[in-house]
Amino acid sequence: MKPLSRLAFVFAIALPASGLHAQIPRLELELRLEPASRVFQAVAQFEISDRDGFLLHRSLEVRRAAIAGETVVPQRAGRHGESVLWRVGAPKGARVRIEYGGTLPELDRALDARGVLGAKPPMASDEGSYLPASGDWYPRSATLFTYRVSLSLPASQRGLVAGRLVSESLPQGSAGRYAAVFEFDHPADGIDLLAGPYVVRERMVAREGAAPLRLRTYFAPAVDALSDAYLEDSRRYIELYTQRIGAYPHTEFSVVSSPLPTGFGMPTMTYLGESVLKLAFIRATSLGHEVLHNWWGNGVFAELSRGNWSEGLTTFMADYHYKERESADAARETRLAWLRDFAALPRDAHSPLASFRSRTHGAAAALGYGKAAMVFFMLRDLIGEPAFERGARLLWESRQFRFASWDDLRSAFEQASGRSLQPFFAQWIERAGGPRLRVVKAELRDGKHLELDIEQSAPAYALCVPIEIVAPDRSETRWVDIQGERTAVTLDLAWQPQGVRLDPELRLWRVLDAEQLPPILRRWILARSPRLVLASEAADVRVAAASLAKGFFERAPQVLEAAGLAEGSEPALLVGRHAEIDAALARLGLPPRPARLAGRGTAQVWTVWTAHDRENDRVPLAVVSARDAEALRQIARALPHYGARSYLAFEGARAIETGVWSAPGRLIQVTARPGAISR
């Protein structure tokens, strides 16, 4: 590992672009950024596309424009959200040179994880600058393009964009400037610029038959000690996916710390929040997820108009794969979490995977990540692991740096498995929701024929359902094909069963039985009409509770006093100090504080079913009990990240205990058919 301060100049050999890539428009950018003042200046050269125009963020102004050396007058042609459409009157294909600049918005440190996922402008500050690809800080005139970016920053700053590092010049003294040139010769659909007061570390990794791999960390000084571990894990993940899918398509990979709570994967780099880089699960799962996006999403582009499959495939081949390597129990718990998240969705939030674009809120994440990953899990069950692995490699070989739709994925897996997958993809990608299944009859005839009746909700899915047959001394799983709303099945047995369980290992995307659905916080986060119930009269506690609820719920809650909790059936969040919470629960006749949380930490959170109503059967309540207003403020930012939990205890902002209430599946008793003789 080398600190950048010991390097004077770095050069990497260019790889030739393919004939296909040579036809793609090229963008040339020279830019100068002053993070302290947020002043941005740039020169861009690019080709005009059909629309004779380009967008720039409203903070930026075109100062000069020329075509073939002849000056032209740029014209504002209207607003598009936070950006301005500029026209220069050039014919299609003309090469345009513009000089532009302005003062960028200030980095918004108040953004939480949910806010970071929304539309973001280019932002700058001395502690970090983030110019996202979607922020229109550069002129984009084509869907896909290649680029070369020359970057100039003050001596204390380092920066990068995705691509191959062509050259780098370090400042000589505090008055000098940092300069770097990056090229991206593959088709790209955007450019993200990251900069900050980084310590840069580097490791070069030899690759057989390919240029060396340059691994880097661009870390704030506070997390620089983690660099070596992140470099090693980056190497390990890249080697893993090279073996499973195909060669890593770049010569670089960098991990960059962010002052914002980000978790983004871009080609050749990932941008991770400084506050979470120290957490063990980031290196264990999140880093591998972002590395894999160099294949899925940034290597093969999702055709978003027909559904974003890349997050689901990445979640399945990264996050879920790591759980499978850990243990079968850990993998099952992950599938259970996906299904519980699905069950927490309001009914009107169900949508088909074909309509998923990006994770802008929790409902979209439950489908675009959880359901999509489960679909790939079920596909692997259907065609077998060898065929699934071949299909992934075929997809990479055939669609590298091209757009791919769900249909393209289906074709790759059909080719790998040698079978038609049209019905499978149609029902899981184009339909919303999922089936509800139950065993309505389990009878033993003649002591050896097990007769089952299985019902599913309409309209019916075509399913292969695992049924576990249980006796005191043994169990066996049989897979049963069902097509309609009610299917009768007879299974021959050589022994007498005691009961049956439907899909006990949770291998199907479906609506879980109530016995498998303890209340989890996701239900409150996603509620359509949430209620905030205040148990305290103290002004500082009420303000802190309102602030916590604003970041916790995805929709503004109705605010009630504690006496109003009994009215209505929508999910309610009861907030107050410990003694106030205990008094409110006793006054309303609700279950007391769970014994496992009593006295733990500075704040406790738990869920409970409070009563029964006609439509939902049970009314969900979540309780936030804190020592004081400060304890509420300390957990406000962290709480939305624990949507898959039923209870937590916090010490300050740190969760010291988390869990999900036990909810075992139901065993359906097998009865002897009347008149039958049982032996």
Question: What CATH number is given to the structural domain containing 620?
Answer: 3.30.379
Hey, what are 293's tokens?
Answer: 């996006």
Number of alpha carbons in the 13 Å side-chain half-sphere of residue 524 = 39
Using CA atoms, how far apart are residues 157 and 138, in angstroms rounded to an integer? Answer: 21
Phi and psi at 72, nearest 5°, equal -125, 160
Q: Mention every residue, 6+ apart, whose C-beta is less than 8 A from residue 614.
A: none
Judge whether 202 lies within some domain: no
Give tens-digit pLDDT for 177-235. 999 999 999 999 899 999 999 999 999 999 988 899 999 999 999 999 999 999 999 99
Hey, what are 456's tokens?
Answer: 């599913």
Residues 508 and 541 grouped into a single domain: no
Last residue in a domain, options 197, 222, 242: 197
Q: Which domain holds residue 345?
A: 301-429
Residues 308 and 368 grouped into a single domain: yes
Residues 459 and 561 grouped into a single domain: no
Residues 38 and 160 grouped into a single domain: yes
Burial class (CB in 10 A: 0-12, 13-18, 19+), 460: middle
Residues 354 and 453 grouped into a single domain: no
- Kindly list the distances between the CA atom of residue 12 and the CA atoms of 9, 15, 26, 231, 251, in Å, as whole numbers in the listed order: 10, 9, 20, 19, 9
Last residue in a domain, options 197, 212, 242: 197
Last residue in a domain, options 197, 219, 253: 197
Question: What CATH number is given to the structural domain containing 494?
Answer: 2.60.40
Looking at 93-226, which runs of residues are DSSP E strands? 95-103, 129-131, 145-154, 158-161, 164-169, 177-188, 193-196, 199-207, 210-219
The sign of the CA dihedral 580, 582, 583, 589 is positive
Using CA atoms, how far apart are residues 234 and 44, in angstroms rounded to an integer? Answer: 33
Burial class (CB in 10 A: 0-12, 13-18, 19+), 604: buried
- DSSP summary character for residue 191: -
Residues 381 and 419 grouped into a single domain: yes
Nearest 5°: the CA angle 259, 264, 268 is 110
Judge whether 152 lies within some domain: yes
Of the candidates 39, 152, 157, the residue with the CA atom closest to the CA atom of residue 101:
39
Residues 564 and 487 grouped into a single domain: no
Nearest 5°: the CA angle 366, 372, 375 is 130
Residues 490 and 630 grouped into a single domain: no
Question: What CATH number is given to the structural domain containing 384?
Answer: 1.10.390.10
pLDDT at residue 661 in the model:
86
Judge whether 567 lies within some domain: yes
pLDDT at residue 517 in the model:
81
Which segments in the chain show pLDDT lower than 50? 1-22, 612-616, 676-679
Using CA atoms, how far apart are residues 321 and 65, in angstroms rounded to an integer? Answer: 51
Hey, what are 200's tokens?
Answer: 């840069």
Judge whether 125 lies within some domain: yes
Judge whether 153 lies within some domain: yes
Looking at 446-599, which runs of residues are DSSP E strands? 449-456, 463-471, 474-482, 486-492, 499-502, 531-534, 558-561, 572-577
Give tens-digit pLDDT for 203-218. 999 998 889 999 999 9
Judge whether 496 lies within some domain: yes
Judge whether 148 lies within some domain: yes
Q: Side by side, which strands form the sheet with 269-273?
A: 2-3, 199-207, 210-219, 252-258, 269-273, 263-266
Q: Residue 85 in 3-state DSSP? A: strand
Domain count, the chain: 4
Characterize 491-528 residue by residue with b for buried, 16 or more Cβ atoms within 10 angstroms of its Cβ, and e for exposed.
bebeeebebbbbbbebbbbbbbbeebbbbbbbbbbbbe
Residues 13 and 128 grouped into a single domain: yes
Judge whether 584 lies within some domain: yes
The sign of the CA dihedral 133, 139, 141, 145 is negative
Residues 374 and 475 grouped into a single domain: no
Indicate the pairing of strand 75-80 with strand 83-87. Answer: antiparallel
Residues 449 and 420 grouped into a single domain: no
Residues 477 and 538 grouped into a single domain: no
272 with 257: CB under 8 angstroms? yes
Nearest 5°: the CA angle 270, 275, 278 is 80
Using CA atoms, how far apart are residues 361 and 311, in angstroms rounded to an integer? Answer: 14
42 with 102: CB under 8 angstroms? no
The sign of the CA dihedral 404, 405, 408, 409 is positive
